[in-house]
Every structure is written in structure tokens, then in C-alpha cells.
């Protein structure tokens, strides 16, 4: 390419990640002064089509880089930061993740920024205070109503007002800047120089037992270099205590620790355990924060003011100048994988980050994912095991109840009813798990077999009775009236089939009228604060029945629960997804782990129609590790992940034939290039073929050679995007967790 005709004003160029759904960065020109000033990792405002967007500088091009003649170079609008706000490691991390997950770099970079910075707001927004310099200058603002208003407000607060507060009351920054030019008000920055607080322990560490000691010492040997650990410890075996003691050593050296948890809202007590151990600045980063809180926490992490950064998956992209350790708790949890848009898995990105930062990473779980278990078996993760409950509590005993032969009332077997009564009489608590909210999953006509189905999905409506009787589709949100009579045969013979938590609540109240039943699901906890209220009640040690969905399975410490009952787990055994048994096993062990955490031994009852299922054979009669070994062996035989790598291409449109035709053409194209390096399954309709009125189909790609497959898929994905009809939606999911 020639560059002899280079216009000298085009010499200085920067490359910018712009938040648009395009897979490349864009080049912009800058003046020489700007070029000298700009740092990679700073934000710039740039024109893009008709919009003005906030991008991040990823590269300063050397003046002799050839210009691509296809594009007309535009100039940046404004340099937003005079220093890099995203460090080199996070830039690399984002670049890698964009490549690996086939997602536009500009959008990945946006994940790394808090909303206010994405919007182009000043970095020091939270420190910007406006003050009046001249209190008698009304004349200078009389031509603009907005300026008059702003000036009046500022005069009320002679010590200054934060810009964010002014913005909230409708006074725009642009207005303030306009008055500033007249010399009658001024913006001051609050002092932002801070030194980290010295680390202090707020609470003494527990005396670690031998297994914990061994784990702690092994992890601590790996400082200042990359090493991955799988902390595989029973529920209640003291994994958190291991994290805390390892963190203490790392914090003592003035380094930062990143702790990732699945969902902060559901397990506030995990957060409070970290907070109550250390007296130091802890930055909380999760989606429940408002924009300025999030910016503040992000800045504390990014400047090094915060020593502990505790967050959900997106906290992973926060710059941290002194990162010395990453901990990812409950590593098996599905919420570490983003299901929409940028479909990254926090576990894998975290491992890559630990590589870049040259620091250790600890993945912890009582039910490790088969993926991590496999890495541990291969020695790519150091396997640390905690095989005893800490503090002397015993593991609960597991029992299976065969629903085919059991006598039952309201779907609950007589054995279970008797056991529940015994526990309640002893003033203990009982936890009943059913992963299905609502009253009943199916409404059927007993005369003609008509079923109430969602008109937009291949799914039954769920019957709800509260706050009023209605039919609700849990997949697309459609709500319908419950018909008085069968719409097909007109008979009044409609009958709910199966049970949801609301129905079981009714039955339990009937069976155990003397004890409270606390229902915990998305319906009963939708109001702010209601979960906390229930939570406090559970910790008051009164005998009661807790009834709930997944929400009850997550890492909670319920010291008075001695009996756990799992009412119906069979749907998880019937699913077509190859990970379904893994998820089911994890759920059973996690729910079971809520039993017997205090000083009384716990028991667990699992009701099933399929007591002979191989899952129970290992899981109930042996343990999770036996299950994991057997499952990994199965995956090896079937050549499924993690024994091969997968990529899923999803396709959605109003017509299933269009999907099939398009995917068939596309798979042919891939086959031409990749030959038999990639095993192609499909196109096949998705397990739920129609959802919200649109048809879904997909293709699964599998290969033993990840790098080569990704190489072919990268090219191919661009072709898919190029050829797809505009009415069709496609998405690519690298290392998919669910084949839905
Ligand atoms: P996990 O994170 O593995 O589920 P936790 O860290 O929550 O386990 O520990 C379970 C219980 O055991 C907690 O109440 C904790 O305080 C207690 N515990 C943990 N380690 C010890 C120890 N070394 N000595 C005494 N109690 C401990
Ligand atoms: Zn009917
Ligand atoms: Zn629906």
C-alpha cells in the first residue's frame, strides 16, 4: 500500500474501540498536541455515523502506518481523560475475550467501564464541586433561564455543591460550563489523594484444621506467579475460612484481592463475612448499585484505594493496579456465564486474567463443575480437598424415596410426612425444596385432555392463584385469564396437575397446621427487603418449614435445619442437555448441604420416580466426587465437553424452515473450509422450538482442537453475519453451558 500521498494532517492517528456492533477498532486522526498527550487506555469522544460515542484508545499508531484508503479519517471530538483509566492488563484481557468469544471489542470494552464513564462523564465526576465566585452577577446570566436557575441554586450553597447532585436536580453540566466561562462560578476538585488504610483484622482467624492448613500453605506458595487451584471441599468444610486466611497474607503485602461470587443479593452473609474479618476498604461491585456508587467502587479498585474487590462476574474487567489473588467462590454456579450478548464465562476469563497478572487463582466449590474437575485431574489446576465439615458438624445422611411405591398425600410421601413431624416436634427446622414456582405447572381438562398452553411458546402455562388467579408463561411472560370452562369441550372439568411451591405451601399448611411455612421463591421475595425479613426469621431458631426454589440452595448457612427434602428432581433427569445430570447433582448436594450445619446431624430425603437412575447410584450411595469421576468418564466416551470443545450457533426467526435452510447452507460452508476437524451437529430445532412467537434452531460444533476450531469459526462467523437475512437473529456461544 502506498502512503506517499499522505496528507500531513493525517499523520497522527489513534485506534479506538468504539461501542458498536462491529468487530474491529476504528482509526481517528488527532493533532500532534493531542497525540503527544493521549495515553492508551484513555477515553475519547468520537463521531460515528451521526452519533457521538465514547470509545477507549487501544493504540497510538506510528505516523508511518499506512492509511486504509477505503475509509475517510475523521478527527476525534474530544479527549476525555488526560491519563489512562484502563490499564494495559485489562486492555489485553478485553482484547483476548473479544477474540475468544467472538464479540465486538468496543462492546467488550464497555463492559469494563461503569455506566457514567461509558456515558462520557468526567472521570473525577464524584469530586467535582461547583462554587460561586461572584455573588452579585445576576446581570451576566439574565439572558438564559437555565443559567439563572443554576446560578440561584449555587448561591444557596456557598461552600459548593457536587456536580452529580446538581445534575440530579436537572442542572446540566453544559449550563455550568457556560456560566464558568463568564468567570462567576468555578469548578473545584475535592482532594483525591489518598493512601490505603493499613490492614487490620477486625476478627481473629479461626484455628485452621489440618486440611485447611494444608490448603492455605499450598496456595500461599504460589505468590507472584500464575497457578490455578481447585478448592474442592464439602459444604460447610470451611472453604471460606481458607479464603480469608490466604487473603490475609496477600493483603498484608499491600496487594489487592478480587473475590467473585455468583449473586450478591442472594447471599448477603457471604459479603458480611469478608467485611467482618478485615478492617480495610472493600469495594462492592454488582448490578444492584446506582451509577455513582458503582463509579465510586470502581475507582476505589482502579486507584488501589480498595484492598478487597468483591463482585459479580463483570467486576472481572475492573482495573486493579496491585492485584495479587483472585478467588472465585461457588465456581460451578451458572450465573458466572453471561447468557445474553457478550456470552463470556467469568471462570475462564478470570483464569486468563490471573495469567496476565501473574497471580494465583482459587476456584472453590463443594460441587465442582465437571470442566474444573477435569482440569484438576489433568493437573492444570492444583486439586485441594477438604473432606470433613469444619467445627465438628457431620455430613447429612441421604435417603431415596421411590415415588412409584410410596404412599403419599399431596405428592408428599408418608415417610417424609412422618420425618417432618418428628423434626418439628423436636423444635428443629425443615427445608423443602421444589424448583418450580407458581401453583401448578399444567392445567388440563379431564374430559377432553385439552391443556392450557402459551400461544407463543411450546410450553404449558403455569397456574398461579395469588395475588389473583391467572395463567402465566414463565418463558415469555404472557399472562392469561383462567377459563371458567374448557375452551374445547365446554365442560367444567379443568384440573391443575403437578405441584408448584404455592400448591405445596397450601398442602403443608394443611398437614402441619401448628407450624409456620415460609415460602422463598421469586414470587414471595419480589418486594424489596422481603428476603431479608424471611432470612432473619429463619435465624430465630423457632421450629418451622422453609419451602423454596433454587434461591434456598445457594451457600446459605441455616444452623437449625436438620431435615432437607427434595420433592421432585426428575425433570432434571429427563432433559436432553448433556449437562443436565451435572446440574441436577450439584443442586441436590447444594440443597442437601443446608442440613445439619449446627450441632445436630442432618438427614436428606430425595423423592423420585427413578430411584434406579445412575446419578443416584454414585451421588447418594457414594459422594459427589464419585459422581464427577463417573460423569467425566461418560463425557470421554461420548466425546462431549470438556473432552472436546464446543461452539453453539443459535438462529431465531419467524419461520423454522428459514432457519433450517440458512443453517444448512452455513454448515456446508464451514465443512468446505474445516473438513472433518470440526464435528457438526445439526441444524436441529432448539429443545424449546418456539419461544415468544419465534422459532429457534441451532448447530453444535465440536472439536478436540480448540485453537484450530476457533480459527475457522472466526472467519465463518463473519460470513454468517454477512449472509444472514435481516429478519433473522443469530448468535454465537463459545463454550456454551446450556444447549437451549
Ligand atoms: P464452606 O465455605 O466450605 O461452606 P464455611 O467456611 O462456611 O464452609 O464453614 C462452615 C462453618 O464452619 C462456619 O460456621 C465456620 O465458621 C466454621 N469453621 C470453618 N473453619 C473452622 C475451623 N477451622 N474451626 C472451627 N470452625 C470452623
Ligand atoms: Zn375439555
Ligand atoms: Zn410463552
Give the residue carrying C-alpha cell 422481603: 530
Is the pLDDT reported for residue 71 higher than 80?
no
Find out whether 473 is annotated in a ligand binding site.
Answer: yes
- C-alpha 225: how far from chain center: 27
Q: What is the pLDDT of residue 1?
A: 40
Strands (DSSP E) contained in 37-113 are 43-48, 51-61, 74-75, 78-79
Determine if ligand 1 sits within 6 Å of the CB of residue 589: no
**Separation between Cα atoms, residue 303 and residue 33, nearest integer Å:** 27
pLDDT of 239 > 50? The answer is yes
- Give yes or no for a cis peptide into 531 (omega within 30° of 0): no
Give distance in angstroms: CA of 237 to centre of ligand 1.
Answer: 6
Q: State if residue 235 touches ligand 1 by the CB under 6 angstroms criterion.
A: yes
Give the model's pLDDT for residue 301: 93
Comparing CA positions, the residue from 626, 686, 619, 618 lying closest to residue 653 is 686
Asked whether 448 lines ligand 1 (CB < 6 A), one says no
**pLDDT band at residue 197 using 50, 70 and 90 as cut-offs:** low
How confident is the model over 96-136, as pLDDT tens digits? 999 999 999 999 999 889 999 999 988 887 777 888 888 88
Domain positions in the chain: 12-121, 128-189, 200-389, 393-440+498-634, 645-734
Poorest-pLDDT segment among 55-69, 240-254, 347-361, 726-740: 55-69
* Assigned C-alpha cell, 576: 436432553
Is 448 one of the annotated binding-site residues? yes
Whole-angstrom Cα distance, residue 432 to residue 420?
10
Q: What is the structure's pLDDT at 95?
A: 94
In this prediction, residue 7 has a pLDDT band, given cuts at 50, 70 and 90, of low
Question: What's the rounded Cα separation, in Å, for the pair 232 and 368?
Answer: 7
pLDDT tier at 235, thresholds 50, 70, 90: confident
Residue 222 has pLDDT above 60, yes or no: yes
Is omega for the bond preceding 683 within 30 degrees of 0, making it cis? yes
| Predicted pLDDT of residue 10 | 63
Give the CATH number of domain 200-389: 3.40.50.300
The answer to whether the annotation marks 454 as part of a ligand binding site is yes
Task: Flag whether pLDDT at 191 surpasses 70.
Answer: no
- From 355-364, 526-535, 554-563, the region with the lowest mean pLDDT: 526-535
Among 60-69, 598-607, 696-705, the least confident range: 60-69
Where does the pLDDT of residue 190 fall: very low under 50, low under 70, confident under 90, or very high at 90 and above? low
DSSP 603-662: EEEEEES-TT-HHHHHHTTS-HHHHHHHHHHHHHHHT-TTSSEEEEEEEEES-HHHHHHH
pLDDT for 2 beyond 80: no
User: What are the start-end ranges of the H helices in 196-336?
Assistant: 210-220, 239-252, 268-277, 291-303
3-class SS at 106?
Answer: helix
User: pLDDT (tens digit, 9 = 90+) per residue, 495-528?
Assistant: 999 889 988 999 999 999 999 998 888 777 777 7
The percent of residues in the chain predicted with pLDDT above 90, rounded, is: 57
User: Does 445 belong to an annotated binding site?
Assistant: yes
Q: Is the CB of 393 inside a 6 Å radius of any atom of ligand 1?
A: no
Residue 508, all three cell numbers: 403443608
Give the residue-averaged pLDDT of 628-635: 94
Mean pLDDT on 74-91 = 93
pLDDT of residue 508: 93
pLDDT higher than threshold 80 for residue 649: yes
Under the banding of pLDDT at 50, 70 and 90, the label for residue 91 is very high
**468-475 average pLDDT score:** 92
Provide mean pLDDT across the span 363-391.
94
> Cα–Cα distances in Å, from 458 out to 75, 370, 451, 511?
51, 30, 12, 35
pTM, two decimals, is: 0.89
Average pLDDT over residues 304-333: 94
Pocket test for ligand 1, best of 240, 272, 556 (most atoms within 8 A of CB): 240
Residue nearest to atom 23 of ligand 1 (CA): 208
The mean of the pLDDT values for the chain is 89
Q: What does the pLDDT average to over 359-365?
A: 97
Question: What 8-state DSSP symbol labels residue 10?
Answer: G
Average pLDDT over residues 683-701: 91
The 3-class secondary structure across 117-132, one letter per residue, is HHCCCCCCHHHEEEEE
Q: Ligand 1: does its nearest atom lie under 6 Å from the Cβ of 212?
A: yes
Ligand nearest to the CA of 365: 1
The reply, when asked if residue 187 is annotated as ligand binding, is no
Gap between the Cα atoms of 685 and 651, Å rounded: 9
Same fold, 200-389 and 645-734: no
pLDDT band at residue 165 under the 50/70/90 scheme: confident
Q: What is the pLDDT of residue 267?
A: 66
Cis peptide before 642 (omega within 30 of 0): yes
Å from CA of 372 to ligand 3 middle: 35
Question: Which ligand sits nearest to residue 453's alpha carbon?
Answer: 3
3-state secondary structure 577-598: CCCHHHHHHHHHHHHHCCCCCC
Whether the Cβ atoms of residue 330 and residue 554 lie closer than 8 Å to each other = yes
Which residues have CB under 8 Å from 16's CB, separation 6+? Answer: 25, 26, 27, 28, 44, 46, 55, 56, 57, 58, 76
Measure 535 CA to ligand 3 centroid, in angstroms. Answer: 32
Lowest mean pLDDT among 54-68, 103-117, 240-254, 326-340: 54-68
Q: Which pLDDT does position 4 carry in this prediction? A: 44
Q: Report CA(212)–ligand 1 centroid distance (Å).
A: 10
User: Would you say 476 is a known binding-site residue?
Assistant: yes
* Residue 3: per-residue pLDDT: 44
Residue located nearest, by CA, to atom 10 of ligand 1: 236
Average pLDDT value for residue range 646-657: 94
What value does the mean pLDDT take over residues 686-712? 92
Task: Classify strands 128-132 and 185-189 as parallel, antiparallel or unpaired.
Answer: antiparallel
Q: How far is ligand 3, taken at its centre, from the CA of residue 474, in Å?
A: 7
Please tell me the predicted confidence (pLDDT) of residue 574.
79
State the pLDDT at residue 643: 93
Confidence of residue 203 (pLDDT cuts 50, 70, 90): confident
Whether ligand 1 lies within 6 angstroms of the CB of 241 is answered as yes
Report the candidate in 605, 692, 553, 208 with the shortest Cα–Cα distance to residue 412.
Answer: 605
Quote the cell numbers at residue 400.
431415596
pLDDT greater than 90 at residue 164: no
Q: Residue written as cell 421469586? A: 522
Counting atoms of ligand 1 from 1, which one is nearest the CA of 241?
6
Grid cell at residue 130: 461547583
Q: How many angstroms separate the CA atoms of 573 and 423, rounded?
A: 29
Q: Does domain 393-440+498-634 have CATH number 3.40.50.300?
A: yes
Q: How confident is the model at residue 153 (pLDDT cuts 50, 70, 90)?
A: confident
498 lines ligand 1 (CB under 6 A): no
CATH class, 12-121 region: alpha beta
User: What digits encode the pLDDT tens for the residues 166-183?
Assistant: 887 788 888 998 998 888
Interior CA angle at 724 toward 721 and 729, to 5°?
85
CB-ligand 1 contact for 239 (6 Å cutoff): yes
DSSP class per residue in 168-206: HTT--HHHHHHHHHTTSEEEEEPP----PPPPEESSPPP
Ligand 1 in contact with 65 (CB < 6 A)? no
Give the residue whose CA is nearest to atom 15 of ligand 1. Answer: 238
Distance CA 165, CA 318 (A): 25
Share of the chain above pLDDT 70, in %: 96
From the list 526, 559, 450, 543, the residue with the least C-alpha distance to 494 is 450
In degrees rounded to 5, what are phi and psi of residue 315?
A: -60, -20
Give the C-alpha separation, 471 to 454, whole Å.
9
* Nearest CA residue ID for atom 12, ligand 1: 390
Atom number of ligand 1 nearest to Cα 329: 2
Confidence of residue 596 (pLDDT cuts 50, 70, 90): confident
* H-run or E-run covering 18: none
**Mind listing the pLDDT tens digit for each residue in 367-376?**
999 999 999 9
Predicted confidence (pLDDT) per residue in 422-462, tens digit: 999 999 999 999 988 899 999 999 999 999 999 999 999 99
CATH superfamily of 645-734: Ribosomal protein S10 (3.30.70.600)
| Cα separation, 323 vs 344, whole angstroms | 21
Average pLDDT value for residue range 235-244? 92
Query: What distances in angstroms separate CA 349 from CA 189, 222, 336, 341, 730, one per listed residue?
Result: 36, 20, 10, 16, 23
Amino acid at each position: 500500500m502506498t502512503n506517499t500521498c499522505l496528507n500531513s494532517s493525517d499523520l497522527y492517528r489513534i485506534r479506538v474501540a468504539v461501542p458498536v456492533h462491529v468487530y474491529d477498532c476504528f482509526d481517528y486522526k488527532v493533532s500532534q498536541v493531542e497525540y503527544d498527550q493521549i495515553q492508551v487506555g484513555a477515553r475519547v469522544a468520537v463521531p460515528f455515523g451521526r452519533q457521538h460515542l465514547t470509545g477507549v484508545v487501544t493504540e497510538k499508531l506510528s505516523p508511518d502506518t499506512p492509511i486504509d484508503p477505503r475509509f475517510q479519517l475523521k478527527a476525534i471530538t474530544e479527549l476525555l481523560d488526560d491519563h489512562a483509566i484502563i490499564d494495559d492488563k485489562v486492555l489485553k484481557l478485553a482484547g483476548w475475550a473479544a477474540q475468544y468469544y467472538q464479540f465486538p471489542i468496543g462492546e467488550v470494552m464497555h463492559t469494563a467501564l461503569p455506566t457514567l464513564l461509558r456515558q462520557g462523564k468526567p472521570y473525577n465526576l464524584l469530586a467535582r464541586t461547583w462554587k460561586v465566585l461572584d455573588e452579585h452577577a445576576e446581570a451576566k446570566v439574565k439572558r438564559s433561564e437555565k443559567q439563572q436557575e443554576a446560578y440561584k441554586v449555587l448561591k444557596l450553597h456557598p461552600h459548593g455543591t457536587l456536580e452529580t447532585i446538581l445534575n440530579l436536580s436537572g442542572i446540566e453540566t453544559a449550563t455550568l460550563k457556560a456560566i464558568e466561562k463568564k468567570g462567576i462560578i468555578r469548578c473545584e476538585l475535592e482532594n483525591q489523594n489518598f493512601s490505603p488504610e493499613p490492614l487490620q483484622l477486625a476478627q481473629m482467624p479461626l484455628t485452621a484444621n489440618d486440611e485447611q492448613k494444608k490448603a492455605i500453605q499450598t496456595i500461599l506458595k504460589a505468590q507472584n506467579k500464575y497457578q490455578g487451584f481447585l478448592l474442592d471441599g464439602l459444604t460447610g468444610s470451611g472453604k471460606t475460612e481458607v479464603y480469608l486466611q490466604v487473603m490475609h497474607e496477600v493483603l498484608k503485602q499491600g496487594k489487592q484481592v478480587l473475590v467473585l461470587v455468583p449473586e450478591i443479593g442472594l447471599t448477603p452473609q457471604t459479603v458480611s463475612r469478608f467485611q467482618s474479618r478485615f478492617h480495610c476498604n472493600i469495594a462492592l461491585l454488582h448490578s444492584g448499585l446506582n451509577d455513582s456508587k458503582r463509579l465510586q467502587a470502581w475507582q476505589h479498585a482502579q486507584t488501589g484505594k480498595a484492598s478487597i474487590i468483591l463482585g459479580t462476574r463483570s467486576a472481572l474487567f475492573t482495573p486493579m493496579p496491585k492485584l495479587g489473588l483472585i478467588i472465585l467462590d461457588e465456581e460451578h454456579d451458572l450465573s458466572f456465564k453471561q447468557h445474553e450478548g457478550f456470552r463470556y464465562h467469568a471462570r475462564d476469563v478470570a483464569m486468563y486474567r490471573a495469567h496476565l497478572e501473574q497471580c494465583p487463582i482459587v476456584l472453590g466449590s463443594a460441587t465442582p463443575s465437571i470442566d474444573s474437575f477435569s482440569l484438576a485431574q489433568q493437573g492444570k489446576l492444583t486439586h485441594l480437598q477438604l473432606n470433613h465439615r469444619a467445627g465438628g458438624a457431620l455430613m447429612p445422611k441421604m435417603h431415596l424415596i421411590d415415588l412409584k411405591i410410596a404412599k403419599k398425600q399431596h405428592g408428599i410421601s408418608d415417610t417424609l410426612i412422618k420425618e417432618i413431624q418428628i423434626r418439628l416436634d423436636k423444635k428443629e427446622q425443615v427445608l423443602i425444596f421444589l424448583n418450580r414456582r407458581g401453583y401448578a405447572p399444567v392445567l388440563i381438562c379431564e374430559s377432553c385432555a385439552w391443556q392450557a398452553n402459551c400461544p407463543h411458546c411450546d410450553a404449558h402455562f403455569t397456574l398461579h392463584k395469588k395475588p389473583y388467579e391467572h395463567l402465566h408463561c414463565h418463558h415469555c411472560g404472557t399472562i392469561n385469564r383462567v377459563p371458567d370452562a374448557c375452551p374445547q369441550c365446554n365442560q367444567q372439568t379443568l384440573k391443575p396437575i403437578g405441584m408448584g411451591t404455592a400448591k405445596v405451601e397450601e398442602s403443608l399448611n394443611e398437614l402441619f397446621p401448628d407450624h409456620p411455612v415460609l415460602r422463598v421463591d421469586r414470587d414471595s421475595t419480589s418486594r424489596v427487603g422481603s428476603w431479608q425479613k424471611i432470612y432473619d426469621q429463619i435465624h430465630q431458631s423457632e421450629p418451622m418449614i422453609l419451602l423454596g426454589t433454587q434461591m434456598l440452595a445457594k451457600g446459605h448457612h441455616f444452623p437449625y435445619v436438620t431435615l432437607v427434602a427434595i420433592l421432585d428432581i426428575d425433570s432434571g433427569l429427563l432433559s436432553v442437555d448433556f449437562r443436565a445430570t451435572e446440574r441436577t447433582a450439584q443442586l441436590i448436594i447444594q440443597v442437601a448441604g443446608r442440613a445439619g450445619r449446627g450441632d445436630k446431624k442432618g438427614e436428606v430425603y430425595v423423592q423420585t420416580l427413578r430411584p434406579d437412575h445412575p446419578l443416584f447410584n454414585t451421588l447418594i450411595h457414594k459422594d459427589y466426587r464419585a459422581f464427577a469421576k463417573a460423569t467425566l468418564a461418560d463425557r470421554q466416551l461420548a466425546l462431549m465437553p470438556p473432552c472436546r470443545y464446543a461452539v453453539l450457533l443459535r438462529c431465531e426467526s419467524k419461520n423454522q424452515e428459514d432457519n433450517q435452510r440458512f443453517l444448512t447452507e452455513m454448515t456446508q460452508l464451514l465443512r468446505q473450509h474445516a473438513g472433518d476437524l470440526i464435528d457438526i451437529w445439526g441444524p436441529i430445532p432448539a429443545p424449546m422450538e418456539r419461544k415468544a412467537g419465534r422459532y429457534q434452531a441451532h448447530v453444535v460444533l465440536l472439536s478436540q482442537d480448540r485453537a484450530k476450531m476457533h480459527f475457522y469459526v472466526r472467519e465463518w462467523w463473519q460470513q454468517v453475519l454477512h449472509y444472514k437475512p435481516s429478519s433473522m437473529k443469530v448468535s454465537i456461544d463459545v463454550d456454551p453451558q446450556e444447549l437451549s
